[in-house]
Amino acid sequence: MEMPRALGVLLLLHLASGKRNVLAVTEQPRKVCEGLDHANQYDNFGLEDTAKCFAKCTQSGNESCNLGNLQRYWLSYEVHLVETSPKDTVNMSFLKALVLNISTNISKDLHFSLAASQIPRQVTEDEHQHPDRVRLPRSLFESLQGSKPTVRLAITILDIGPGTLFKGPQLSTADGSSVLNNRLVGLSLGRIPVTQLAEPLEITFSHQHQPPNMTLSCVFWDVNKGSSGDWSSKGCSTNLGANRTVCRCDHLTFFALLLKPILDKVTVRALTRISQAGCGTSMIFLAFSIVLYALLRFSWQRFKSEDAPKIHVALSISLFLLNLAFFINVGHGLMGSDATCWVRGAIFHYFLLCAFTWMALEAFHLYLLIIKVFNTYFGHYFLKLSLVGWGLPALIVIGTGSANSYGPYAIRNKENIIVLELCWFRKETALYVTVHGYFLFIFLVSAVVLALVAWKIFTLPSGVAGKERRTNWKRVLTILGLSSLVGVTWGLAIFTPLGVSTIYIFALFTSLQGVFIFCWFVVLYLPSWSTMTSSSGTARNDQAPIVSQE
């Protein structure tokens, strides 16, 4: 009896131990997102389980992810579809695929629809019915006639979600960069390499109108780039359109359309700090200019009759108030009520228009002083300029405000992340007309006047031949000084779409305009109290062609 009892106890212990082992195996955490659990397993369960990593592998995700293994899994799946899979179609929420045999002796190009909600399907050439599509040139298949009469083609649409998978180093930072609609388009002939096509394939991606600070580029996934691959545009060209972008590439692989902001959050923060530092410096020097004018007007009687320094000071005051409004608007975000935000936006708009208008009046005065030359009579000349300089912007702001165009304004990237908030325009049409259009008109007029003045100055004969080189330097510095008065530096805004570097240059030079004006004021007036000169540096006060009675 003791022996059977002992055997029974051992049997129970063995079973209990086995049960614990089973529990230990089942309780072990699965490592799907390390790309090991379903390697080379492409049944529905393996695909769905691996696809969960699209959401789990995020920038700050807690789950351990091996992006290289996961990306190789999906790249190998295309080869599996062509080489070993018996399926002709795949229809899953995150994956749509079409596999078909193609004769290498086809007579025309092939076209396929890539609608996101449907399995890719072969269609006839029809741009209007199929905004997302791919065109494969017949020459691609004709080049394979010597090896095979038919080839097997796989076309896949893969939704990679918002995670880090297939994002690569280019899109790994939170700067608003993204893959359009998180969709990849894969084209594969299995293990047959297709590179350097004589005639490129075409993939058309449809999209809405993109924000002006976004760039779009056609890319493919390059497995040889970096440790686990990255996006590359080598061999691809981008043809941008209003509602669609056509990618032309000379090989087969996974393709996508990247959206990258010209101004990301880091850039906006850096530009804001540069602008604030520059505006603060400008405010100090603008204040110096105003005080210097007051001292000269108080101590030098003839200075009171000069119109040019009055215009300079009016421009300095408008720029000072604009910089102050910029500090308040950008520094306080959207604090306060909607009515307060409306007022802040209107004030910022008003002083911006005042600055633009006084730059135009500087150009007008310069035209009368140097180009027209002959005596011109204007009764109450500066008073009339003041009515235009301060009154015209007020009329524009009243008209814009009556249309309720001011309010909260947020600059967002493609991930809908706010990078900057301020009180500005709520209606883009008003912004384009009253700011962009107004400035463009003033800039063109000022540029024409400055060009005429430069031509006039450089065609003046130099007094002494030996001083010609020094005279040329003076002429160049004179043109640079005048350009700061008429606001030519603001014209750098035209070149900002060329890249971030031009945006930094624009922010730096426009924010330091007050410094340039102060330097011009000092050089022009302080050394010549006894022989007061006009703003051109070429005409004496008693020779000025403008007569003003105030």
201-212: pLDDT as tens digits: 999 999 877 655
Mean pLDDT across 326-346 = 84
| Residue-level pLDDT at 401 | 92
DSSP state of 174: S
Q: Which domains does the chain have, with CATH numbers?
A: 47-252 (2.60.220.50), 265-461+471-524 (1.20.1070.10)
| Residue-level pLDDT at 120 | 93
Is residue 269 within 8 A of residue 276, CB to CB? The reply is: no
408-449: pLDDT as tens digits: 887 654 444 566 778 989 887 898 899 999 999 999 999 999
Is residue 212 within 8 A of residue 141, CB to CB? The reply is: no
Count other Cβ atoms within 10 Å, centred on residue 487: 25
Tokens of 111: 């076209």
Residue 31 has pLDDT above 50, yes or no: yes
Cα separations (Å) of 457 from 281, 301, 454, 538? Answer: 31, 30, 5, 9
3-state secondary structure 255-281: EEEEEEECCCHHHHHHHHHHHHHHHHH
| Residue-level pLDDT at 491 | 85
84-112: pLDDT as tens digits: 888 899 999 999 999 999 998 888 999 99
Tokens of 326: 């910029």
DSSP state of 526: G
| Residue-level pLDDT at 210 | 65
Largest CA distance in the chain: 136
Mean pLDDT for the chain overall: 80
- Return the higher-pLDDT residue of 384 and 411: 384
| Residue-level pLDDT at 419 | 66
Residue 8 has pLDDT above 50, yes or no: no
- Return the higher-pLDDT residue of 260 and 9: 260
Q: What is the CA radius of gyration of the chain?
A: 35
Nearest to 38 by CA among 27, 54, 52, 49: 49
Residue 283 has pLDDT above 90, yes or no: yes
Mean pLDDT across 174-185 = 80
| Residue-level pLDDT at 233 | 87
